[in-house]
Each structure stands twice: as C-alpha cells, then as structure tokens.
C-alpha cells in the first residue's frame, strides 16, 4: 500500500478549506469594538524640509479623535535596523534615525508626516486633507552614482555622506585579485542592473492596535511574517514597552515575500495611538499606499568581471555593486547586499579568487529590503549572466562550461565565507537536460523560425543559502538577532497534539506539512495534530518565516521537541509495562517492549501522563509537553539548474515563454506537492522580474510605477506551465530532517534563464546583443534589435 501519511506524502492542505470558503481570518477582517481609523498624511515630494504643520483646522473636523505629528514621537525611539554591517575599514555602517513620523524632514514620497485618528476612515482622510504643511523642497537624490559624488545633496544631514557602507568580501588584497586577472587567458566583463521591484503580496499591509487600560496590555494584529520579532523590536527599540504586556498576532496573512518581515512605522503607530487615544486604532493600506510604504526589493547596479584560464577554468571573479537602500535602513536592509549577496558569489563553481565590493547608498526613495531571495537573486543573476556571456564569446557550450567548473567535492569552503555541506550540481543538471529536452531544441527552433519568430534557449544554475543560520556566526557578521527557532509540542491527555511553532505560515502550508513530520515520528494520524502559529501569546519565541527557513530551522526545533516528548513517553510506557526504558520501541503509535508481545498504545501513555495514577512520579513529572529551540549548525544549500525557452516576435520585440523547466535539489522533501507549488510561485515571480516588473522613479523622486496601471504584475497568460523536478536529492547533513528549504529557489533561479534565452534568440538571428537589462520588455528587445 502506498504511504498515506507522514513524510514524503503530497497531503492536501487542510488550511485550504477555510480559504476556499471565504472563511480565512486576515488582519483586515478583524474589527475591534470601538475602533477608530488612522490615515497618514504622506509626503508627495521626495525630499523637503518641514517648516511647519498646522493641524488646527483639521482637528475641528467631524469625527477627528486626535492628530499626531513628529512632535508626539520625539521621546520615542525610531525603527531599528537589525543588522550592523562593518565596512572595509572595520568601521560600522552609517545608521541614520528612522522616525515613526517625520522629524523635520521628509525623505521619500510616502514618508509619513502626520496621522489623523478619526471615527471613520473617510473622516480621517478628510482631516488629512485639511492639514496645512509648509515645506521647502530639496533636490531629490535618485541616481546612486550621483549620490556618492562629493557635492551631492545629503539624504541625512547628520551623516558624512550618502554612503551607508563600503564593504568587501572574499580576497581583500586588491593586488592578488588583479594578479589573477593579469594571468587570465580571457576576461569577460558585464555591467548590469538588477532592477527595483515591489513585492506586492496580494494582501496589503494592515495593523490594528488595541489597549486594555485595566490590564495595561497591548494587542497588535498585524500582517507579519514574524510576530515575535515585531514584538521584540517594537517593545525594546521603538516604544519601550514591557514585552510581557504586549501581544502581537499575525493571523492569516495574504503572502509576504519578505516585505512583511520588517517592523513598520504603522505597526508601532497603531500600538502607540491605541493607548494614547484609549481606542483601538486600525490602519488598512490601500494598494497605492503600499507602493510607497512597503519596503521594496533588489535595486543593484553591478559590474562583474570573470577571468578564465586557457582551459576555460574560472580563475577569478571581481564584482563592484552599488546597492540602493532607499531613504532609511529598513529592518534587515543592510544585510541583503552584503551577507545575503556577496556570500553567494561563488555560485556552484570552484573559482579560487573572488572579491565582492558593495557600496550601499541612501537615496530619496522608499526603503529597500529583502524580497523573495534577497541578495541571492542578485548574485545569481550577475554570475549566471556573465558565464553565459563568456560561453558565447568563446563559442563554448554553456552547459559544458558550467559542468567543467562545478564544485564536486563537499564540504566545500568557498572564498566568500560559506561552507557548502553537500550538493550534486551535475545531478540536477542531468535532470534538467532530460526534462528540458535539449536534444529537441533545434527542431523547435526551426519550427519557430518557420513562423517568422526567433527562439532561444537559456540555461543557468543557482545556489542559495537558506535556513539562516547559526546565531553565533550571524552575530559575528553583525546580526542583532539570533536566528534559531522554537517549537512546543503539547500532547493532550487524549493523545492529540498541539504544536506551537515560531515559524509563520502565509501561504507555505505549515498547518499541513508540520503535522506530517510529527505524525511520521510518532506513527499517529495527522488529523490528531494541530499547528498553532502567529500569536506571541501562544507560541514560544521564534523568529518567523523568511529565507526558506521554516522546515529547516523551525521544523528541526519541532523534531527535537517531538524527540523529547517521545523519550518521556517511552519512560511512561516502560513504567506501564514494567520494562526498562531502553527496551521500549515506538512504532505506528504503539509502544512495545523489544522482544516481547507487550505493548501500550500512544493514547494510553498520554492519558497516564495527565492522569498519573500509575506513573513514575519519583522519576518524571506528569504531563507531556516539551519545547525545543534549534539553532542550526550551518546554512542549508539548495541548488539547481533551470532552463527556459522563449520565442521573440522580431517586429514587436514581444517575448513569450514557451517552456520552463526547473531541476532543484532541496534535500529531503516532506510534501512534494507543496514544494512544487513553492517553486511554481518563485518562477512566476522570477519571470515577472525578467520580463515585466520594474519599480521606477523619475529624477524628482516621483514613483512612475505606483499602481498596477504601470507596475506590470505577471498574469496567468504571461507564463506557461512549468516542469519542475526535485528528484535529485542530497540531504542536508546537519539538520535532523535532511531538508534544505524551497521557498526562494524559483525566484532566484529563473531570471537568468529567461534573459539568457532572450540573448540566445537574438544572437541566433545575427543580432549583436550581449545583454538587455530587466525587465526585458518588448520595447527594450525591439530597441536592442535596431542597433
């Protein structure tokens, strides 16, 4: 009989039933009795000094409860940055304050200046229109290179310049790096941008603050990927509240993709205002508002150089990147262009000398932080594009060139600070070659050409570092938080189990997947197991969900806690059967004594734990509940190979994706259906980045793509069905499940495949084009074909 529960089964998702019936409980569905609504007065200009704010007329408008300005927050902390990057001279990064409401200056369109709390949303909005502000507009700071020039206007007057840090990783000795290039047989250089994106989870952000005067307790309902992190940051750094008096709840969350990791001003504001107004305060972002307030992603400008020897071995890589941070440091923004980007520059290849240089720059734009993949897509894109370019220059098979340079022995210490524990890059490439039918490409191309179009095939590899990661290491690298996770396994007297986890599910299906693991370990039905997440008052202190870490880190904590439960249950079972602990075996929910026919069921043991009439009270406590915190020994390293085939309409430059194949190595897999879904979603976003999406500002700092009228989201007819394979598996060596994480792979691996395919198509028709910046829009392709 095929296995029907536990690890490796494509169990259907139990959370689907409520979502499919419209019975989800998203933050905007929560209304607290007596709530008021806040609307923010936001800057319409990119950069200005605030001379005065006159709220007198607005205060007398109908329904207005109270108006807040920066002055109300003078004694209050700003939003903290959770990662201190140290620059190439061992100096800490420049870290400007990030106020809840603007203090004296606004620094991007959307920067909040004042907030009106009123009985209704429309009244709050009416009153916002009645606030008079007197601004002196300053020049916008948009272009990163300009921002770093000597006389550039400063985004933050109190800083020395617009440079947050100038960082280097890998070989710091410039002469050694130069020597490697001097000795090269061939050098290829590529300049490119990894354009700014807007994460755009379909649910806009919402925050509802509530305060109970009697108990002095705060509750914040918020669209967050990590309620405990929000509570810690808000209590310790922003509002100075006692953590035990603050409850943060992230209920059903409609997608995150990174942008709901961060602690935002609106969350702190609603918490603060609920007490100040003695009324619950609700904020619901409109999509237009989310375009100017949600932290954005990517935005790197890079020059990458790759050196090869006469046998086409990669001998050195040097990169120079300008990374846009926007106007303020968002929660993890400083780590993205550095430790989440530079460390991946070895990719899947054994390049001995690597130097990564990153200058991070303040501009008068919305802050930039992690977006699905965070740093790793930027690293992968430049590396896989430059490899593609060199293969074309030297007329080499891009797959063979990659294979020749693959790392094949593990563990492998990269020149950029990581140790890959395991992997098999030829393994995934083999899977890809089969799935993508490289052999049939020539025929498909000639069929396409017969229809007057061009066809291209693009291939690339990727590696990512997931399950972020040992706290002691990240602490050394500047993280101001630990990166463990936690789980509590609470067994009820009747044998059912509640598992309280620090990870947060906002689409990943934890409610289905996590029970599969516990069910497997104990041998009871998954329906007996419930996952509790998203409420700081119910769950142990966990770090939440991002960086493809849930199963690798929190899942490991859950395994450890379940092991503790099982060990204790075995002791109880031993007592019940008058046997020795060491002889007890657990299988299919039955405890038995090895070599005998004696057994007791799971339910009997759990009952004994809570009705301890016959119980070894002298040796162990009653009850059956265990907590484990798990701090991983290393990152995990999912890796894979992707292939894309495109058709191009030569008259219009329109690119259409005809085939997309992904071969990933995620180590062991708990629920293949959900893993497929994660890869599909990532590829959808990657294709979005490659072909469609762009967050653009004009020179005055106005957002040109501030709604779906101009920000091109991928739609159903922009993408094909994807073929995904994850049968090449090298289990992670250091976590108990051997899992690696799969949430970001698709978004990391897919953009270079698409762009490589476009270049292949254009070159096949004799166009001398070696790069087009993303999004590879029809107009850009057409323009490239004209030159």
Q: Rule CB under 6 A: which residues touch ligand FES?
A: 202, 255, 507
Closer of 103 and 654 to another protein (Cβ): 654
In angstroms, what CA-CA distances link 406 with 418, 528, 538, 624? 16, 45, 46, 48
- Among positions 730-749, residues that touch another protein (CB under 8 A) are 746
Binding pattern for the stretch 114-153 against another protein, x by CB under 8 A and - elsewhere: --------x--x---x------------------------
| 621 belongs to the binding site for another protein (CB under 8 A) | no
Q: Which is nearer to ligand FES, 202 or 582 (CB)?
A: 202
* Residue among 350 and 680 whose Cβ is closer to another protein: 680
22 binds another protein (CB under 8 A): yes
Minimum distance, C-beta of residue 174 to another protein, in the bound complex (Å): 39
Q: What is the dihedral of CA 113, 226, 254, 379, to 10 degrees?
A: 90
Contact flag: residue 33 with another protein (CB under 8 A): no
Contacted by 783, from ligand FES, another protein, none: CB < 5 to 8 Å by type: another protein
Query: Which of 147, 163, 724, 772 lies at the binding interface for another protein (CB under 8 A)?
Result: 724
How many angstroms separate the first and last alpha carbons of the chain? 63
CB of 20 to another protein, least distance (A): 4
How, if at all, do strands 485-491 and 454-463 pair? unpaired
Which residue lies nearer to ligand FES by CB, 78 or 204?
Answer: 204
Counting contacts by CB under 8 A, is residue 212 touching another protein? no
**544 in contact with another protein (CB under 8 A):** no
Q: Which runs of E-coded beta strand occur in 327-453?
A: 353-362, 412-413, 419-420
Q: Per rule CB under 8 A, is residue 434 in the interface with another protein? A: no
Residue 680 or 780 having the CB closest to ligand FES: 680
Indicate whether 348 belongs to the interface with another protein (CB under 8 A): no
Q: Is the dihedral of CA 189, 195, 196, 198 positive or negative?
A: negative
Instruction: Give least dist CB 202 to ligand FES, A.
Output: 4
In terms of CB distance, is 544 or 746 closer to another protein?
A: 746
Quick one: 470 or 507, whose CB is closer to ligand FES?
A: 507
**Closest to 636 measured CA to CA, from 454, 782, 466, 456:** 466
254 vs 751, which CB is nearer to another protein? 254
Q: Closest separation between CB of residue 26 and ligand FES, Å?
A: 11
Q: What tokens were used for 362?
A: 């303040």
Q: How far apart are CA 256 and CA 283, in angstroms?
A: 18
Site for another protein in 487-526 (CB under 8 A): 506-509
Question: Structure tokens of 662?
Answer: 């992904």
Q: Which of 181, 146, 139, 183 is nearest to 161 (CA)?
A: 146
Structure tokens at 195: 């354009």
| Residue 694 Cβ vs another protein, minimum distance, rounded to whole Å | 7
Give me the least distance between CB of 504 and another protein, in Å please.
11
The binder of another protein chosen from 88, 154, 287, 444 (CB under 8 A) = 287
Using the rule CB under 8 A, is 527 a contact of another protein? Answer: no
How near is the Cβ of 716 to another protein at its closest, in Å?
4
**For residues 706, 229, 226 and 262, what is the CA-based torsion angle, rounded to 10 degrees?**
10
Choice between 523 and 778, CB closer to another protein: 778
Spatial CA neighbour of 231 closest among 547, 534, 486:
534
Q: Which of 222, 363, 694, 735 binds another protein (CB under 8 A)?
A: 694
Look up tokens 């219009």; give the residue: 652
Question: Does residue 95 belong to the site contacting another protein (CB under 8 A)?
Answer: no
Q: Are the C-beta atoms of residues 544 and 779 closer than 8 Å to each other? A: no
**Residue 453: helix, strand or coil by DSSP?**
coil
For every residue of 708-751, DSSP letters joined together read TTTS----GGG----EEE-------SSSTT-B---SSHHHHHHH
Tell me the H-state helices in 307-396: 376-393
Q: What does the buried/exposed string (b/e) look like for 148-162 if buried means 16 or more CB atoms within 10 Å of the residue's CB?
A: beeebebbbeeeebb
| 109 counts as binding another protein under rule CB under 8 A | no
Instruction: Report whether 638 contacts 463 (CB < 8 A).
Output: yes
Of 23 and 400, which has the nearer Cβ to another protein? 23
Rank residues 507 and 540 by Cβ distance to ligand FES and give the closer one. Answer: 507
Is 699 a binder of another protein (CB under 8 A)? no
Counting contacts by CB under 8 A, is residue 35 touching another protein?
no
In the numeric block, which tokens belong to residue 517?
């693991």
Q: Is 297 in the site for another protein (CB under 8 A)?
A: no
The partner in contact with residue 200, picked from ligand FES, another protein, none with C-beta cut-offs of 5 to 8 angstroms by kind, is another protein
Residue linked to tokens 């001097």: 182
Question: What minimum distance in Å lies between the beta carbon of 55 and another protein?
Answer: 19
One character per residue 234-263, x = contact with another protein (rule: CB under 8 A): ------------------xxxx-x------
Q: Scanning residues 629 to 668, which ones bind another protein (CB under 8 A)?
A: 651-654
- Least separation in angstroms between residue 63's CB and another protein is 13
Using a 10 angstrom Cβ sphere, with 0-12 exposed, 13-18 middle and 19 or more buried, the burial of residue 227 is: buried
Minimum CB distance to ligand FES smaller for 255 or for 612: 255
Question: For residues 170 and 507, which CB has a smaller minimum distance to ligand FES in the complex?
Answer: 507
x/- binding map, residues 447-486, to another protein, per CB under 8 A? ----------------------------------------
Min dist CB 287 to another protein, Å, is 4
Radius of gyration, alpha carbons of the chain: 27
**Which runs of consecutive H residues, i.e. helices, occur in 636-720?**
672-687
Per CB under 8 A, the list member of 63, 589, 612, 778 interacting with another protein is 778
Query: By the 8 A CB rule, do 427 and 638 touch?
Result: no
Residue 711: CB atoms within 10 A of its CB come to 21
**Residue 478: which of 323, 355, 337 has the closest Cα?**
337
Q: Cα 515 to the chain's mean position, in Å? A: 23
* Shorter beta-carbon distance to another protein: residue 200 or 460: 200
Closer Cβ to ligand FES, 226 or 508, answer by number: 508
Contact map string, positions 188 to 207, toward another protein, x by CB under 8 A: ------------xxxxx---
* Of residues 567-596, those binding another protein (CB under 8 A): none
Look at residue 95 and give its three-state secondary structure.
coil
> CA 369 to CA 335: how far, in whole Å?
9
Choose, by CB under 8 A, the member of 16, 91, 191, 413 that binds another protein: 16
Residue, CB closest to ligand FES? 202
The alpha carbon dihedral of 711, 715, 721, 726 has a sign of: positive
Residue 24, contacted partner among ligand FES, another protein, none, CB below 5-8 A by kind: another protein
Q: Can residue 758 be called a binding residue for another protein (CB under 8 A)?
A: no
Neighbouring C-beta atoms of residue 563, cutoff 10 Å: 15
Among 84, 86, 161, 288, binds another protein (CB under 8 A): 288
Burial 398-433, CB ≥16 within 10 A → b, else e: bbebbbebbbeeeebebbbbbebbbbbbebbbebbb
**Residue with smaller CB distance to ligand FES, 188 or 678:** 678
Q: Please choose, from the candidates 376, 381, 383, the residue with its C-alpha nearest in 3D space to the C-alpha of residue 468.
A: 376
Q: Considering only the C-alpha atoms of the chain, give the largest distance between any 2 of them, rounded to a whole number of Å.
A: 86
């Amino acid at each position: 009989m095929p296995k029907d529960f536990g690890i490796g089964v494509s169990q259907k998702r139990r959370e689907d039933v409520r979502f499919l019936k419209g019975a989800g409980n998203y933050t905007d569905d929560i209304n607290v009795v007596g709530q008021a609504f806040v609307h923010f007065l936001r800057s319409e200009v990119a950069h200005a000094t605030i001379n005065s704010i006159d709220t007198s007329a607005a205060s007398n408008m109908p329904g207005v409860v109270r108006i807040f300005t920066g002055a109300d927050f003078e004694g209050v902390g700003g939003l903290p940055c959770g990662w201190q990057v140290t620059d190439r001279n061992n100096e800490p990064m420049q870290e400007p304050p990030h106020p809840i409401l603007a203090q004296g200056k606004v620094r991007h369109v959307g920067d909040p200046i004042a907030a009106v709390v009123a009985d209704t949303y429309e009244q709050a909005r009416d009153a916002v229109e009645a606030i008079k502000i007197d601004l002196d507009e300053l020049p916008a700071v948009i272009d990163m290179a300009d921002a770093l020039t000597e006389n550039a206007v400063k985004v933050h007057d109190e800083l020395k310049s617009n440079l947050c840090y100038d960082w280097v990783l890998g070989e710091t000795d410039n002469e050694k790096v130069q020597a490697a290039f001097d000795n090269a047989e061939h050098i290829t250089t590529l300049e490119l941008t990894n354009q700014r994106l807007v994460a755009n989870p379909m649910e806009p952000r919402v925050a509802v603050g509530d305060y109970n005067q009697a108990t002095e307790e705060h509750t914040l309902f918020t669209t967050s990927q990590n309620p405990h992190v929000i509570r810690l940051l808000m209590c310790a750094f922003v509002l100075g509240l006692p953590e035990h008096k603050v409850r943060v709840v992230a209920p059903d969350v409609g997608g995150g993709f990174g942008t709901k990791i961060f602690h935002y001003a609106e969350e702190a504001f609603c918490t603060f205002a609920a007490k100040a107004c003695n009324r619950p305060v609700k904020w619901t972002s409109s999509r237009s508002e989310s375009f100017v307030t949600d932290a954005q992603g990517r935005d790197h400008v890079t020059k990458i150089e790759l050196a090869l020897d006469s046998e086409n071995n990669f001998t050195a890589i040097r990169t120079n990147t300008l990374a846009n941070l926007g106007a303020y440091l968002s929660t993890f923004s400083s780590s993205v262009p550095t430790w989440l980007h530079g460390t991946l520059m070895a990719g899947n290849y054994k390049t001995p000398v690597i130097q990564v240089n990153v200058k991070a720059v303040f501009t008068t734009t919305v802050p930039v932080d992690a977006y699905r993949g965070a740093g790793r897509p930027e690293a992968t894109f430049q590396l896989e594009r430059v490899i593609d370019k060199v293969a074309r220059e030297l007329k080499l098979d891009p797959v063979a060139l990659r294979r020749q340079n693959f790392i094949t022995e593990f563990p492998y210490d990269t020149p950029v600070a990581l140790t890959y524990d395991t992997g098999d890059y030829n393994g995934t490439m083999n899977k890809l070659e089969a799935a993508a039918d490289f052999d049939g490409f020539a025929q498909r191309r000639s069929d396409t050409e017969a229809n007057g179009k061009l066809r291209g095939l693009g291939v690339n590899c990727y590696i990512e570092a997931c399950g972020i990661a040992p706290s002691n290491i990240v602490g050394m690298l500047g993280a101001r938080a630990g990166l463990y996770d936690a789980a509590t396994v609470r067994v009820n007297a009747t044998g059912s189990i509640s598992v309280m986890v620090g990870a947060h599910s906002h689409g990943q299906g934890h409610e289905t997947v996590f029970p599969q693991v516990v069910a497997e370990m104990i041998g009871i039905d998954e329906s007996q197991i419930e996952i509790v997440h998203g409420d700081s008052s119910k769950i142990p202190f966990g770090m939440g969900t991002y960086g493809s870490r849930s199963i690798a880190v929190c899942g490991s904590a859950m395994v450890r806690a379940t092991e503790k439960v099982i060990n204790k249950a075995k002791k109880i079972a031993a007592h019940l059967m008058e046997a020795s602990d060491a002889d007890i075996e657990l299988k299919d929910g039955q405890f038995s004594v090895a070599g005998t026919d004696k057994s007791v069921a799971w339910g009997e043991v759990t009952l004994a734990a809570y009705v301890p009439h016959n119980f070894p009270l002298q040796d162990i406590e009653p009850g059956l509940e265990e907590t484990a915190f798990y701090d991983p020994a290393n990152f995990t390293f999912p890796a894979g190979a992707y292939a894309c085939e495109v058709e191009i309409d030569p008259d219009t430059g329109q690119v259409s994706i005809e085939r997309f194949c992904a071969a990933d190595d995620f180590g062991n897999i708990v629920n293949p259906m959900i893993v497929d879904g994660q890869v599909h979603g990532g590829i959808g976003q990657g294709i979005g980045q490659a072909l469609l999406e762009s967050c653009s500002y004009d020179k005055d700092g106005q957002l040109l793509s501030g709604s779906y009228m101009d920000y091109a989201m991928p739609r159903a007819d922009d993408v094909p069905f994807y073929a995904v394979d994850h049968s090449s598996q090298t289990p992670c060596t250091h976590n108990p499940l051997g899992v690696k994480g799969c949430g970001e792979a698709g978004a990391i691996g897919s953009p270079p495949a698409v762009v490589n395919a476009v270049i292949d198509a254009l070159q096949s028709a004799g166009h001398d084009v070696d790069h087009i910046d993303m999004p590879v829009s029809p107009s850009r392709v057409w323009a490239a074909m004209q030159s």
